Amino acid sequence: MTSLAGMSPTGSEKAVAEHNNIAGGDPINAAEQGLVATDQYGRALVEIDAKAESRLRRKINLHVLPPMAFMYLFCFIDRANIGNAKLAGLEKDLELHGHDYNAVLSIFYISYILFEIPSTVACKLIGPGWFLPAITVLFGVCSVCTGFVDNIHAASGVRFLLGIFEAGMMPGIAYYLSRWYRGRELAFYLSIYVVTAPLAGAFGGLLASAILTLDHFGTLHTWRMIFAIEGLITIGLGLLSFIILTDRPETARWLSQTEKDLAITRLKSERVGTTEVLDQLDKPKMLRGILSPVTLCTAVIFLLNNITVSGLAFFAPTIVKSIYPDTTVVAQQLHTVPHHVPTHPLRRDLFHLQRHIHLWCALQRPPIGTNVMFGNIGGLISTWSFLPSDAPDYHIGNGLNLATSAMTFLLAAAMWMWMRWDNHRREAVDVERVLEGFSQSEVQDLDWLNPGFKWRT
C-alpha cells in the first residue's frame, strides 16, 4: 500500500495530505484517527492494495451476507404466507367475506408505513447488530400467533404488529451493509435483494406445500401449520443471529486489527471530504438525503415496483386456484411457484439500472427509510389491486401491474440519464472557488450538494 493515491497532488491536496500526516506514513492509521480521506473533489487521498481489499471483501461476504439473506427471506415469507394460508382455508375458517381479506392485508401496510422511519432511527440508536435479530424474533412470534387467530379482529391485530416489527428490516439491512461495503458494492447487494424478492414467494409456495402434507403440527391443522412452522423457523433464525452477527468492523472477532482498519479506511476513501464514518443522527444530512432528487425518484420507482411484487405475493395463490379449481390444495400451492421464474429475467434486465438508482440511497440511511416507506405505499395499493369482483381474469390487477412495470423501467432509465447529465454539468464547476471559505465540517455536511460530488453511473 502507498501513502498517497496514484496521482500528482495539487496544492490543496498537498495541504490535506499534510493535515493527515500520511506522506510516508500509514494511511490506515490516518483514516482511523478520523482525519480526511478524500479531497474536495472526492478523490481518495490514500491508495488501498487491491489484493488485500479483495481478501477482506471475501471474508466480509462470508460472515455478513448469509444471515442478512436469510433474515430478509423469512421477513418476506412471513409477510406473504397469508396468501398461501388463504388457499388452504383461512378465509373460510375466519369467515371472511367480500373485501375482508383485502382489509386484513391493508392493516399490515398501515403500520409498516407509519413505523418505517421510526424503525430506521431506532436501528441507528440501538445498532443493527442487535436491532435486526430482535425484530426477526418479534415478527417470527407474530407469525406463530397468526396460527391461533379465530376471527378477523384477531387476524388484523396480529398483522398490525407484524407490520411494526418488519418495518425496520429493509432499511436496517441497508444501514448494516453500509458499515461494511463501498458504495458500488452496497448498490450491488441491495439491488440483488430487490430483484430477487419475488423468488422468496416461490420458496414460500414450496415450503407451504411441504407443510400441508403433514397431518398436524401439535394441535394445529391446515393453514395454521403454515404460520406456526414458518414463524418458529424465523424465531430460530433471529436467535442464531444474535450470536453470529457482528455489529460493525471494529467489533468483528473474525477480523485482524489490520483488516478492521482497512475496512474502515476503504469506506472513508470514497466519501467527499469525509473525516468519519457517520453512525449518529444528523438532521441536516437526513434532510438533504431525503430531498435528494435521486431519493425522491427511487421512492416513486420502489412504490411502483412494490405494487407488482406485493400484489403477486398476496394474490398468486388465489389466481392459481381460479385456474386450477379441481386440483388439491398442495398441487395449487406448487402451481404458485413457476410464475416467479419467467419474471426473473425481466428483473435481471432492470438490475443494472436499479444498481445505479439505489447507490445514493445506499449511502444515506434515512433516505433508505424514506424509500421503503414510499415503496410500501405501493404495497398498500397492491392489497386492493385484485378484487373478488374482478375474478377470474383480474383485468384491473393485471393491467395495473403492466403499467407499473413499464413506468418503473422508464423512470429508472430517465434517472440514469439525468445522473450522467448532472455529472457532466458538475465537471465545468470550479470546485475550489465554490468551496472557498468553507470549513472541513461544512464541506462534509454538503453531501450531494458538494460541487465535487459525482453520481456513480
Which pLDDT tens digit goes with each residue over 125-147?
999 999 999 999 999 999 999 99
Peptide bond connecting 171 to the previous residue in cis, omega within 30 degrees of 0: no
- Alpha-carbon radius of gyration of the chain: 24
157 vs 355, residue with greater confidence:
157
Which range is most confident: 235-244, 263-272, 305-314? Answer: 235-244
Cα–Cα distance between 266 and 258 in angstroms, integer? Answer: 12
First to last CA, the chain: 27
Residue 32: how many CB atoms within 10 A of its CB?
Answer: 17
Percent of the chain with pLDDT over 90: 38
Nearest Cα neighbor of 254 from 64, 29, 69 is 64
Written as nine digits, the cell of 339 is 410464475
Of the pLDDT bands very low, low, confident and very high (cuts 50, 70, 90), residue 334 is confident
Written as nine digits, the cell of 287 is 434532510
Cα–Cα distance between 272 and 289 in angstroms, integer? Answer: 15
Q: What angle do CA 289, 293, 296 make, to 5 degrees?
A: 80
Fold of 50-251+281-449: Growth Hormone; Chain: A; (1.20.1250)
How is the chain split into domains, by residue range?
A: 1-48, 50-251+281-449
Written as nine digits, the cell of 24 is 510516508
Entry pTM: 0.76
Residue-wise pLDDT tens digits, 108-125: 999 999 998 899 889 989
* Res 450: pLDDT: 83
Of the pLDDT bands very low, low, confident and very high (cuts 50, 70, 90), residue 41 is low
Q: Please check the confidence at residue 99 and state whether its pLDDT lies above 70.
A: yes
List, in order, residues 6 or more apart from 83 with CB less than 8 Å away. 313, 314, 315, 316, 317, 318, 336
